[in-house]
Structure 1
Amino acid sequence: MSMKIEPGLGELLRYVSELVEYGAEEHYSQMQINYRARYTPVLRALRSGAQTVTEITACTHLTQGAISQTLGHMEADGIITRQRGDDGRKTFICLTAHGEALLLKLDQHWAGTFATIEQLEHEVGYPLRQVLQDTARLLEQRGFSQRLNDQKLAMTAEVAVDE
């Protein structure tokens, strides 16, 4: 039995994310660099001045756990090092020479990436990033779980009125 079902929001978001990440990984391979797409938010945060996991987390839309895991991979790949602060309470993230060289190569790639995103948005006919930013903002204000609960209450009230 073959039933076609309508994909959910999470499914579509993951699928689009996978398509973008696969394309980026393919391009990194073509550039002949050993690089994972998941490093991008961290490197961009470091380039903008972030120095700690907390600061990187504040610059990105990723969890502290995801950042810490990504930093572990980046450290293993020789892109970053971690250095304890003078007081021993903070750990600072620093690019290695390899990380600095990688960042220089990636700057041009990222400019092309954003131009490609703008072209994709033009083809789609609306600003995808703005739609996602607006959606994230609304979900931060009232989470998806609360929205589901509200919908359930509305449906229960509707059934009660119909009876």
Structure 2
Amino acid sequence: MNERNEPGLGELLRYVSDLVEHGAEEHYRQMGLQYRARYTPVLRAIQAGAKTVTEITARTHLTQGAISQTVGHMENDGVISRHRVEDGRKSSIRLTPHGKELVAKLNQHWSATFAVIEELEGEIGHPLRRILEDAAKALERQGFAQRLTHIKLGQPRGIDQ
């Protein structure tokens, strides 16, 4: 048991995520934008050529449900519009004129964001993005629940079991 009550991995990840998101949202306010940080992965995927929720999901590390919910908010905020494709089963997502104007303003912010991430990684002496990517890949190979089961059963660590 953790007697010193140190924060767990999930708690630390959420805390760092909140610090980053709140800082970004404060900067959006300073820029005079009514913008939600959760729109960023969707907008960046659209910029990269994604046209449907499925394509956006494939380009992000978010669930289809989270993307669908975010797309709904973005549509309500007038950032994107949906248009039925030929077979009628899916809809194509496009930036509205407001969305295009927003992205033009955000491109400079996103460049600065990646510069800040590089600065942060230099300050802490760790390639934070690489560490998180490696952790995600390891958990994709063997999930956290499976790892817990192995520990509880006293089984040796390994993904081949």
After TM superposition, the score normalised by the length of structure 1 is 0.92
Q: Deviations over 1:18-72 (max 9, x none)?
A: 0000000000000001100000000000000000000000000000000011011
- Give the CA deviation at 1:143: 0.3
Within 5 Å, which residues of 2 pair with 1:5-44?
Answer: 5-44=5-44
Within 5 Å, which residues of 2 pair with 1:43-82?
Answer: 43-82=43-82
Q: Report the equivalent of 1:147.
A: 147
- Give the CA deviation at 1:4: 5.2
Q: Deviations over 1:79-116 (max 9, x none)?
A: 00110001111211110000000000000000000000
C-alpha separation between the residues in 2 aligned to 1:105 and 1:34? Answer: 12
C-alpha separation between the residues in 2 aligned to 1:14 and 1:126? Answer: 19
Code of the aligned partner of 1:38: R
C-alpha separation between the residues in 2 aligned to 1:4 and 1:135? Answer: 25
C-alpha separation between the residues in 1 aligned to 2:71 and 2:88? Answer: 19
C-alpha separation between the residues in 1 aligned to 2:69 and 2:89? Answer: 20
Aligned length: 154
SS of 1:83's equivalent in the other structure is strand
Code of the aligned partner of 1:111: S
Q: Which runs of 4+ in 1 moved over 6 A?
A: none
After TM superposition, the score normalised by the length of structure 2 is 0.93
Alignment RMSD (CA, Å): 1.3
Unaligned ranges ≥5, structure 2 = 156-161
Q: Report the equivalent of 1:125.
A: 125
Q: Report the equivalent of 2:135.
A: 135
Q: Deviations over 1:122-157 (max 9, x none)?
A: 0000100000000000000100000000111117xx
C-alpha separation between the residues in 2 aligned to 1:84 and 1:4? Answer: 56
